[in-house]
Amino acid sequence: MVTVQVKVWDPFVRVFHWTLVAGFFTAYLVEPDDLEALHVWAGYLVFSLVMLRVAWGLIGSEHARFGDFVRGPARVVAYLKAMVAGRAPRYVGHNPAGGAMVIALLLVLLATTITGMVTFGAGAQGTVLGDIAAALGFVGKQGKHAVKEVHEFFANLTLFLVAAHVAGVAVDSWLHRENLVRAMFTGRKHA
Amino acid sequence: MGTSKLAILIMTLLAAGLIAFGVSQFSDVPMSGKKHETHQEGTRE
């Protein structure tokens, strides 16, 4: 049987996705006290990727655009209910739950990386980030410690969302008998 | 799935801006955080 395949994920989305995975886990696993430069640069890579993905969500290809996959809470809940019942409809692009997860991940990653940069700024007076941290009231060891706590909370929340995302991908792949992980490498899905 | 040249130009400029900002802020971050703090304290003394 010949199955028709269509190009769904453009090269930017695919490179973004896997680079984000590498960047997040590098920053998460590497303690700044051990390898500060690697933690900082991996975190800044994540911030940059999120910024680029937001832009691509506005001007990118069809299935990369927010307008293609961002749906209201009612449709997300309806999709999740259908998923639990094993009757979730198939989407070529992101399904409503997947779209909500993309938005949640982008927001939480943004919160993680911004608080990370403020943490860095609190210990780097005389820099742009130092000025921003000072303007927000995060100065010195106490200020750095306070914002670092928030940074770590968001980093752990990201990890939780990643786990939920992977579980959702696994369930959806099983429900629709298609390998969504492979699709994120090849960019192609069944029509 | 085609994307316009304008979209690619915007993305390139944004990427260049992000790289420039990153280099300006983090280029002198030492590899070891603990050593950095020790060095700073030593400098202050």
Q: Please give the model's pTM, rounded to 2 decimal places.
A: 0.90
Is B40's pLDDT higher than 50? no
- Residue B43 pLDDT grade (very low, low, confident, very high; cuts 50, 70, 90): very low
Instruction: Give the closest-approach CA distance of A158 to chain B in angstroms.
Output: 22
Interface contact flag, A52 B32, Cβ < 8 Å: no
Q: What is the pLDDT of residue B45?
A: 31
Find the chain A residues whose C-beta atoms sit closer than 8 A to any C-beta of B. 7, 10, 12, 31-41, 44, 47-48, 51-52, 55-56, 59-63, 117, 120, 127-129
Report yes or no: B27 and A65 within 8 Å, Cβ to Cβ: no
Instruction: Give the tens place of pLDDT for each residue, A122-151.
Output: 988 888 999 999 999 998 889 999 999 999
Q: If you write DSSP's letter for every residue of B1-45 in order, what string do you get? A: ----HHHHHHHHHHHHHHHHHHHHHHTT--S-HHHHHHHHHHHH-
Is A63's pLDDT higher than 50? yes
Q: What residues of chain B lie within 8 A of the CB of A126, using their CB? A: none
Task: Give the number of other CB atoms < 10 A from CB of residue A98.
Answer: 18
Distance CA A7, CA A142 (A): 51
Query: For A63, which DSSP code?
Result: G
Assign A7 to helix, strand or coil: strand
End-to-end, the C-alpha distance of chain B in Å comes to: 60
